[in-house]
A and B are shown apart, each in its own frame.
Chain A
Amino acid sequence: MYRKKVMTTLAAAATLGMLLGGCANQAAAPGGSTSEGAAGAVNIPALTSVETPKDAVLPAGDGKANCPATTTLAYVGAETGANAQLGINIFNGVQLAINEHNAANPGCQVQFKKFDTEGDPNKATGPVTQATKEEGIIGVVGLPFSGESKSTGNIFEQVKLVHITPAATNPALTDNGWTTFFRGLGNDAVQGPAAAKFITGKLQAKKVYIVQDDSEYGIGLGKTTSDGLGSALIGTDKVTTGQKDFSATISKIMNSKADAVFYSGYYAEGAPFDQQLVAKGYTGTFVGPDGLKDDQFIKQAGDASSNSYFTCPCIPGELIPSFEKAYKSLANMEPGTYSIEGYDAATVLLSGIDAGNQDRPSLLKWVKSYDKDGLSKHYKWNDKGELQAPTVYGYKVENGKIVPIGAIGE
């Protein structure tokens, strides 16, 4: 009983002491561990327009195309599910291209069909098989995600149906020996080095810390970015999907006096990470890949997100006035991430149909040897199905919105 009393008294005294100490020292100046980020001072203005290639191929063509009434293009990908928004961005782009084509070509009315995968690798095989069985479908835009692309590539391959993904960025997808898979944007092996160049170049960071999550995407991108950073890389730490408290990693970063942090992963962890980092007095720059480039990032990181930049192999379609206007009147919203990639991919297929390639084998051949400008970039694939000159764009957070700042990594 006596011992108990002593313990409680001690505990109470200790608590009181801590409280008093806390109040008495409130005015004390912060110590030496706040980092002075040189990069934080760099201000890259937001882009207001992007240059489009002068003779970009447009879906309308010359208006003299003829094709059978059964000619169909398909979108296979998420229409519903947790990641539906990305799919909606894409198929609206495809729909816009087909509308423009059909309006200009009375002799060739291409039909459009959509197949919903919910973005789930386990559910994707059904809709893909269904699409491949429809004779009229001679070209596909999709699938948007890496996981579902991986699980369905063989089905397309068996029936030699050409498909262009407007969003899947896992580099290994083109190592499967598929001849029908084409990637309409840069992969993560391109994004990593571009991000590294962006951080040390435009953002002028001298000491970069990389934090990666445990996903295939995060690990792969973390590796290619580290390689690109060279001696500017001063430390690496790994976090886990679903992690909420990042204090250990953050304490390391603060001690390392890093002036830029690259977070290789998705916004679910990236957003609280950035928020906790800034709460600990970090004043440098925060950079993330396309997995972070989402309005949810700003919502969850709050004010902290104002230190953030993103890299993305996607082109800001909202800055191409003609495209923005047409898209808005079709979808009643601004073009989103990968809308223009969907539009361009459909245009590649439509121009093939207009040129007389109106069955699966000849349309596949058309895409293989395609070498023209699209609205967003130049489209020419190597024999594996990778773009030969992909573009990576930089974005930043400005007044609570994600805005493009121009092409990076050149």
Chain B
Amino acid sequence: MLPTILLAAPVSNDWITLDFPSLAQNFWSATFDGLTFGSIYALVALGYTLVYGVLNLINFAHSEVFIMGCYGVWFTLSFLGFGPSAPNLDIGQIIVNLLLAFIVAIAASALTAFLLERLAYKPLRKRNAPRLVFLITAIGASFTIQYLIFIWRGPVPEQALTMFKPTPIFDVFGTIIYSDQLIIVCAAVIMMVVTDLFISKSRTGRGIRAVAQDPDTATLMGVNKERIIITTFVIGGILAGAAALFYVMKIPSGVVYNGGFILGIKAFAAAVLGGIGNVRGALLGGLLLGLIGNYGQILLGNSQWTDVVAFMVLVLVLLFRPEGILGTSLGRSKA
């Protein structure tokens, strides 16, 4: 037995060390990587936040809406003939391919979200089911979709397909920014700004806010509640589809039946951190969670701590601001 104990010893010996020099050295690359993944979290977090704002429902099946988008990207790439090696395409072709994958991904995710709403939640609403039933249904729907994918595609991740080889674009504080990081962050920010404008400016957006604030009064004022709900799900799906494209760009081997689970939990945490039900809160929470996770891992030299650090920060924030950083309300529009 002794060797087993000896083997385990180095882990328990220095079970926590703070590596500040390493953090200083890697600060900028950790920041950019954190922002890249933070943008993906934020896009998925928006889906949680919008649905929560309108229905007061934590849609646990949103991680499967996301993973269906990943499969959409994968099938598009596979159809376009991409393989494990990135072909030498010019920028125009890359953009066309990206757009194609983007369209299929958002279509797959939006369709999943739409069907989810129609098949799982609408029948419950019709029967005025208690809130807890919605929650259990959400969890059930999550597992159902997961295992349908499992039966369909098996337990092994799909073959990694790469669209393009990330090229160094420019240098910030001695850290190279790669093309994929730039595309992800820029596109994600644009999508989030558009979503924010849509919610705050458009007629449908006003409807969403009205239903979030007071569904009954909104209905009396002539807002079609059912249509607003379905729109909300579809918007969440579109954003998740975009996140899926970026995720597959970063992690080509991440397309697997349960691949959305952890990301879903992180995105949900991001939504809570920023203030669930709040669109800008989701953005802020996602970026923060991405950064904190990366800093934490470098500081502690061990990714077993990444989630511990991220969730400790979450608990601390909620301790002082139980409604999240920007507050919870979509309807009351605190931002």
Q: What is A's interface to B at a CB cutoff of 8 Å?
A: 4, 8, 11-12, 14-15, 18-19, 21-22, 25-26, 28-33, 82, 171-172, 175, 189, 214, 216, 219-220, 223, 236-240, 242-249, 251-252, 254-255, 268, 271-272, 275-276, 279-281, 296, 298-303
Contacts and interface: CB of A to CB of B under 8 A. Distances in A.
A26 B3 CA distance: 54
Given A22-B169, A219-B7, A300 B160 contact: yes
B77 to A, nearest CB: 12
A302 B162 contact: yes
Interface stretch (B110-118, B119-127, B220-228, B249-257): B249-257
Contacts of A276: 250-251
Interface string B164-204: 01111111001111111010011001100100110010000
Nearest to B307: A240
Contacts of B30: 247-248, 251
22 contacts: A4-B200, A4-B335, A18-B186, A19-B186, A22-B169, A31-B174, A240-B304, A244-B262, A246-B303, A248-B298, A251-B26, A251-B29, A251-B33, A252-B26, A272-B252, A272-B253, A275-B253, A279-B165, A301-B84, A302-B83, A302-B252, A303-B84
Given A175-B2, A271-B253, A223 B7 contact: yes
Interface stretch (B101-109, B132-140, B151-159, B315-323): B151-159
Interface of B: 1-4, 7-8, 10-11, 22, 25-26, 29-30, 33-34, 36-37, 83-86, 155-157, 159-162, 165-171, 174-180, 182, 185-186, 189-190, 193, 196-197, 200, 250-254, 259, 262-263, 293-294, 297-298, 301-304, 306, 335
A272 B254 contact: yes
Contacts of A28: 168-171
Contact of B160 (A8, A249, A299): A299
A220 B7 contact: yes
A278 to B, nearest CB: 9
Contacts of A246: 303
B11 A240 contact: no
Q: Which 8 A-B pairs have the closest CB atoms?
A: A302-B84, A247-B33, A300-B253, A25-B170, A248-B297, A30-B168, A303-B85, A251-B29
Contacts of A268: 157
A11 B152 CA distance: 42
A280 B250 CA distance: 11
A238 B301 contact: yes
User: Interface centre among B37, B160, B161, B262, by most A CB within 10 Å?
Assistant: B160
Given A15-B193, A280-B166, 10 more contacts: A33-B174, A82-B155, A172-B4, A245-B37, A251-B30, A252-B298, A255-B26, A272-B252, A296-B156, A302-B161
A175 B304 contact: no
A15 B171 contact: no
A308 to B, nearest CB: 13
A222 to B, nearest CB: 9
Nearest to A29: B168
Nearest to B249: A279
Contact of A299 (B25, B84, B167): B84
Nearest to A224: B7
A245 B251 contact: yes
B189 A303 contact: no
